[in-house]
Amino acid sequence: MKRIVRAECLSYIQTLPDGSFPLIYLDPPFNTGKVQKRNRMRVVQDEGGSRLGFGGRKYRAEPLESPAYLDAFDDFLAFLEPRLRQAHRLLTPTGSLFVHLDYREVHYVKVLLDGIFGRRSFINEIVWAYDYGGRPRRRWPAKHDTLLWYARDPGAYTFNYEAIDRIPYMTPRMVGPEKAARGKTPTDVWWQTIVPTTSREKTGYPTQKPLKLLERVVKVHSNPGDVVLDFFAGSGTTGEAAARHGRGFVLVDQNPAALEVMRRRLAPYEPEIIELDATPAPPEARRA
């Protein structure tokens, strides 16, 4: 199954049967209190332009339509709780849930998830660390997000150790040529750059996450032929990671801009497109 759904996520996932998905990844709003937007532009050759390029050619910049959403909630946990309870219901007996947040709300959401899944079902707090962007002078720069991993059953969950992408040793001479060639498994701190502005991977959708980050989650925590669910789907990174590795996907988002980005990005995989909500998304639903 490869499906993209435009709908209010709670109303749609309530229609799905129990125990349908072995892996659910969620990148919900971070409750930043801001409008999330990434300005997009293209550069075209123009002898009257102000940008100088290779060979003395001149160019001008043209702005493009830039997706945006308001990331602000009066009661963030009240918004999130029914959706997380549905995620618990939708997991298979060996399934896992990953919830991706930052420092603003992650501690509150962890307590909420402990209540829904049980504290024993909390397996890992994974720190995604990156080194990109501005550096304030009045506090330590915030350069990490957190992924909370909960298992439906803490005694029986999917973890494909052999599928882990290995990383280089910092001191390869100390471990010998065999280990150095194989590399080592990552810890619960994952160093991975954000999607660079000039990358071919960049869709222009706010808060797009790197494909390599989602590929690691998908390969280790699901099996070929499984279907992965993401109901805050945004730019569709979860879907591309799943499709690249022989998995299906169900992606849900209410934002029309998200639907169009996913339609273009995932066109090679020929997904089914379902539009259940033709009205503009309310601010609380606009999320990558």
Q: What confidence tens digit (pLDDT) does each residue in 159-212 have?
A: 999 999 998 988 888 888 888 898 999 999 999 988 877 788 888 787 789 999
What sign for the dihedral angle of Cα 190, 193, 169, 159? positive
3-state DSSP assignment of residue 160:
coil
Token pair, residue 137, equals: 């002078």
pTM > 0.95: yes or no:
no
- pLDDT category, 243, cuts 50, 70, 90? very high
Which fold is adopted by the domain 2-35+69-285?
Rossmann fold (3.40.50)
Q: Chain-wide mean pLDDT for the chain? A: 86
Contacts by 278-285, CB closer than 8 A, 24 or more apart:
280/256, 281/8, 281/69, 281/254, 281/255, 281/256, 282/254, 283/69, 283/70, 283/72, 284/29, 284/70, 284/73, 284/79, 285/8, 285/9, 285/69, 285/253, 285/254, 285/255
Q: Does the pLDDT of residue 244 top 50, yes or no?
A: yes
pLDDT at 254: 93
Q: Could you read off the pLDDT of 17-70 as tens digits, one per residue?
A: 999 999 999 999 865 555 534 444 455 566 776 666 656 666 655 554 545 545
Q: How far apart are CA 54 and CA 42, in angstroms?
A: 16
pLDDT at 278: 46
> At 284, phi and psi to the nearest 5?
-70, -15
| More confident of the two residues 92 and 34 | 92
pLDDT at 122: 98
Domain ranges of the chain: 2-35+69-285
Q: Does the pLDDT of residue 234 top 70, yes or no?
A: yes
- pLDDT category, 268, cuts 50, 70, 90? very high
pLDDT at 46: 63
Q: Select from 195, 181, 204 the least CA-distant residue to 265.
A: 204
